[in-house]
Amino acid sequence: MIGQILFALLVAGATLTGIYFGQQYSETPEDSAPAHEAHVGFNDFRTDLFAIPYVNETGIVGYVTGRFTVKTVASEEAGLMIPLQTLIFDALSSHFYAEAGALATPVGWTRLRQSLDELRDVANKTAGREVIAEVLIEQLDFFPKDSVRMPGDARFESTSETSTEN
């Protein structure tokens, strides 16, 4: 019985020693991140569903709708002069208003990663600092106007076009 207890203590001691030395030597200086990047904290901001119209010379052609998760640098976010939600929705609106025409075509979807990087750049330029680290898509769609509005639906007709019977 005493022999089994001594054996168990020997195994436990060897295991703890291995863990201790493994932790000491697992990170070499050349593998570690620079000190200024080692303690960067990030926050996630999830947007609500938004819709932006695609307008050309004939009028509204369709709508871009989407939801995003925006990864922000916590220390930079704290120093913002405007609310984060305002910054993100301004960047989303201005960027996708300009990009809606590209998303109306299948070719426009092939440059989606570049488009999200441009969105990040727009937000950071507006903020005047590197607040947005990454933009991730939860949902992004393009709906042609005809798939959203039913032709002849009185709710979407102007009052001058509807007949008035009195």
Q: Where are the domains of the chain?
A: 2-32, 38-148
**d(Cα 55, Cα 63) in Å, to the nearest integer?**
9
Residue 133's pLDDT is what? 94
Note if the pTM is more than 0.85.
no
Q: How far is CA 41 from CA 44, 83, 84, 117, 126, in A?
A: 10, 19, 16, 20, 21
CA distances to 86, 90, 164 from 144, rounded to whole Å, are: 27, 23, 30
pLDDT digits 0-9 by tens, 62-78: 888 999 999 999 989 88
Low-confidence ranges of the chain (pLDDT < 50): 28-36, 38, 160-163, 166
User: Do 71 and 136 form a contact (C-beta atoms < 8 A)?
Assistant: yes
What pLDDT does 36 receive? 46
User: Hey, which CATH number is domain 38-148, 3.30.460, 3.30.479, 2.60.40, 1.20.950?
Assistant: 3.30.479
Contact 92, 33 (CB under 8 A): no
What are 41-56's pLDDT values in tens digits? 899 999 999 888 888 8
Provide the pLDDT for residue 34.
47
Q: Both tokens of residue 88? A: 């993100």
Q: Find how far residue 99's CA is from the centre of its chain.
A: 17
